[in-house]
Amino acid sequence: MAKKFPKLSGKLILAPMHEVTNIAFRIMCKKYGASLVSTELLSANALSREATSSLKLALTDKEEKPVVVQLFSQNTDSIVKAAKLLERKFDIIDFNFGCPSKKIMSQGSGGALLKRKNKIGEIVRELTSSVDIPVTVKIRLGVDKKNINVIEVAKICEENGASAIIVHARTVDQGYSGKADWSQIKKVKENVKIPVIGNGDVFSAKDAEKMLGETGCDYIMIGRGSIGNPFIFKQIGEYLKTGKVIEQTKEEKINDYFQYIELTKRFDIFSIKDAKLKAQEFTKGIPGCSKLRQELNKVKTWEEIKKLVELI
């Protein structure tokens, strides 16, 4: 029997994203109103071996709760072992059946699993029966436009104990190109009883309002729209309550960047590479950001990065 998906404080959820949703970024998003946050996509195979690098990515803290760990693999034993290892640290386990990464798909994981309906049922069934916390699934519309099977897959996941379904409204073949087909989220919502979380092409407050209205989804998952912009959660939350769109000042954006860096240092995940990348992401749209990007390529220390960002 499925464990009940928790009642969240709001409608907005942070999507798992590779090299984006580390603990520092998750705490920033939680501060701005994300009701649920997720780790990046983690290998159940590596976690089942207790690989140090993967365990570091599974770091969590009470400040960000409730928090999700997202797993991928096609090995059921590794999935169950990793889930049991992590269930005391996390509030929800999410399993990925949709990642379009060629590397992950070449292993038979992620989006490649959408071709194997029996395997999907097996993974969800074994996972839900092995842990005492809710299990959710993240799926896409199908492998490609000729093989749309999102409703069938959603029903299989529900029947085998999933607590909620996240639908990224693109095919695996699309990657992140083209337009997300929100009508498919609506169809899933009409065909299952568990909560449905809509994902794909929410970059603004009005996008969020439109997705809720058009699909009837229970929650919205925001991915690329939050990169360098954790404030989007406050912006959307405020708009859904009052109809007003609030904006951030240049100073507030820069302050968010420095807060993020402090959190990476606090949790011992700071790196020059990440500091440079996030400097570009957090200052996007600010006058002078193009020049900053060029200058960042020339520097090697945190002190130099800090000075460049302060001068923008």
pLDDT interval class at 2 (50, 70, 90): confident
Count Cα neighbours of 286 within 13 Å in the Cβ-side half-sphere: 25
99, 157, 217, 289: the catalytic one is 99
Global pTM reads: 0.96
The backbone region for 198, taken as left when phi is positive above 0, alpha when psi lies in -120 to 50, beta otherwise, is beta
**92-96 and 67-72 as β-strands: parallel, antiparallel, unpaired?**
parallel
- Write down the architecture of domain 12-242 according to CATH: Alpha-Beta Barrel (3.20)
pLDDT digits (tens, 9 = 90+) for 77-110: 999 999 999 999 999 999 999 999 999 999 999 9
At 252, the amino acid letter reads: E
| Residue 221 host element (H or E) | strand 219-222
- Annotate 48-70 with b (16+ C-beta within 10 A) or e (fewer): beeeeebeebbebbeebebbbbb
- In this prediction, residue 281 carries a pLDDT of 97
pLDDT digits (tens, 9 = 90+) for 255-309: 999 999 999 999 999 999 999 999 999 999 999 899 999 999 999 999 999 999 9
Q: Tokens for 44?
A: 């159940």
pLDDT digits (tens, 9 = 90+) for 34-81: 999 999 999 999 999 999 999 999 999 999 999 999 999 999 999 999
Residue ranges covered by each domain of the chain: 12-242, 250-311
- Annotate 97-122 with b (16+ C-beta within 10 A) or e (fewer): bbbbbeebbeeebbbbbbeeeebbbe
pLDDT digits (tens, 9 = 90+) for 154-213: 999 999 999 999 999 999 999 999 999 999 999 999 999 999 999 999 999 999 999 999
Whether 99 sits among the annotated catalytic residues: the reply is yes
pLDDT digits (tens, 9 = 90+) for 130-165: 999 999 999 999 999 999 999 999 999 999 999 999
pLDDT digits (tens, 9 = 90+) for 24-35: 999 999 999 999
Is residue 68 within 8 A of residue 93, CB to CB? The reply is: yes
- In this prediction, residue 282 carries a pLDDT of 98
pLDDT interval class at 1 (50, 70, 90): low
